[in-house]
Amino acid sequence: MAASAERLRAPLITPLTLVLGLLAAVAAYFVVQRFALGLGAVTNINAGYPWGIWVVIDVVIGSAIGCGGFAMALLIYVFNRGEHSPLMRPALLGGLFGYTLAGAAVLIDLGRWWQFYNLVLPWHMNPNSVMLEIGLCVMLYVVVLWLEFSPAILERLGWTGWQRRIDGIMWLLIALGIVLPFMHQSSLGSALIVLGTKIDPVYQTPFLPLLFVTSALAMGWGVVIAEATTVSHSFRRPSEHRLIVRIARVVGWLLLVWVAGRFVGLMVRGALGGVFAGSAAAATFWVETALALFATAVCLSPAWRRSEPLMLLAGLAIILFGALYRFAAYLVAYHPVGSYSYAPSVPELTVTIGIIALEILLYLSFVKLFPVLHATRRAPAQA
């Protein structure tokens, strides 16, 4: 695998990276303000909405978008589709920053961040808490992601000894990299079960963990589809469309089953009426369903999936679908006790935008610094 990747030979600093850096710097200013003055000074979260977009977009959605590495590993190593391995490292890199910055966002959002290490102190642990599982699992997964990606860095540094050592345990890292996201991505769904009637019946179901982990998987593949197309197009590299189409077939069926399962679940629970209630939760439900069905149609239609732009659109639709599903479940379908409303403040939005900008900036920098992208045939293979 190492031999088949190369770094992108392009200038590190471009107008785009400058803009992204500026956005990240503005966000950093507000992050400093948050630590100096408190959460209330920067965010609009309140007694009714203790979790705002920093949790929902930066962590819940951010980590799901980072599921590319997990989704590709599952495809390549478990379902034995070795032909997809050229897409592995880019996907891993996306996940690396998705998760690392999600972890950073958690630290920014934690009210008593200086005590976060209590999570790993056994005498503080509460085994009943879904949050404990998510916290430990994400921490571990971030380490696993860095180790999984480390060959790319070691290769560039020429530290072959370490590279061999990591490669020796790579099977374990990959296995952890598949199981851990399964655990915490499902737990991000379980986290809402305890809210009971505070979550709209359209979204509240004991199958939330299943719906969350499968949609995270779909998002992971959606990210890979969009990412591969975008990168190959933007950097004028050969198309990976042949590989993408195969992923599309898998993700198409997955989404179809997902949408059907959700409907059946609502019917079984007698909550199907809620989707016709004209509520905000019903609206997001239909938009999600429409996005998922659009993506399914593109992915499963042999004619449509041959089209690169349509496929890209489908990939984006899957990401949007999963993001909206998470956003809706955590904020739209959430009914606070009391007549509370929440809308993010400007600094709050700025931090979230800054984190996304930083993610893109780091991704762009890493593909230029380290061998990530699939080596083109013209490039000489590096031993």
Helical residues (DSSP H) of 5-159, grouped into ranges: 15-37, 39-42, 53, 62-65, 68-73, 88-109, 130-157
Rounded least distance, CB 56 to other proteins, Å: 11
Rounded least distance, CB 85 to other proteins, Å: 7
Cα–Cα distance for residue pair 147/299, rounded to 1 Å: 33
Cα–Cα distance for residue pair 382/7, rounded to 1 Å: 11
Cα–Cα distance for residue pair 152/259, rounded to 1 Å: 38
Cα–Cα distance for residue pair 312/319, rounded to 1 Å: 11
Amino acid at the residue 336:
P
Q: Which is nearer to other proteins, 125 or 283 (CB)?
A: 125
How many degrees, rounded to 5, is the angle at CA 167 between CA 163 and CA 172?
140
Rounded least distance, CB 232 to other proteins, Å: 9
Q: Which is nearer to other proteins, 85 or 369 (CB)?
A: 85
Question: In the beta sheet, which residues pair with residue 6?
Answer: 373
Per-residue burial over 306-340, b if 16 or more Cβ lie within 10 Å, else e, is eebebbbbbbbbbbbbbbbbbbbbbbbbbeeeeee
Q: Which is nearer to other proteins, 369 or 382 (CB)?
A: 382
Cα–Cα distance for residue pair 368/253, rounded to 1 Å: 35
Rounded least distance, CB 157 to other proteins, Å: 23
Rounded least distance, CB 198 to other proteins, Å: 7
Q: Which is nearer to other proteins, 214 or 369 (CB)?
A: 214
The alpha carbon dihedral of 143, 148, 153, 154 has a sign of positive
Rounded least distance, CB 176 to other proteins, Å: 6
Q: Which is nearer to other proteins, 39 or 254 (CB)?
A: 39
Rounded least distance, CB 10 to other proteins, Å: 17
Rounded least distance, CB 366 to other proteins, Å: 20
Q: Which is nearer to other proteins, 15 or 127 (CB)?
A: 127
Q: Which is nearer to other proteins, 246 or 369 (CB)?
A: 246
Amino acid at the residue 142:
V
Q: Which is nearer to other proteins, 50 or 253 (CB)?
A: 50
Q: Which is nearer to other proteins, 265 or 369 (CB)?
A: 265
Neighbours of 17 (CB within 10 A): 17
Angle between helices 130-157 and 160-168 (to 10 degrees): 140
Cα–Cα distance for residue pair 178/186, rounded to 1 Å: 13
Rounded least distance, CB 174 to other proteins, Å: 5
Torsion from C-alpha of 348, 53, 131, 192, nearest 10 degrees: 150
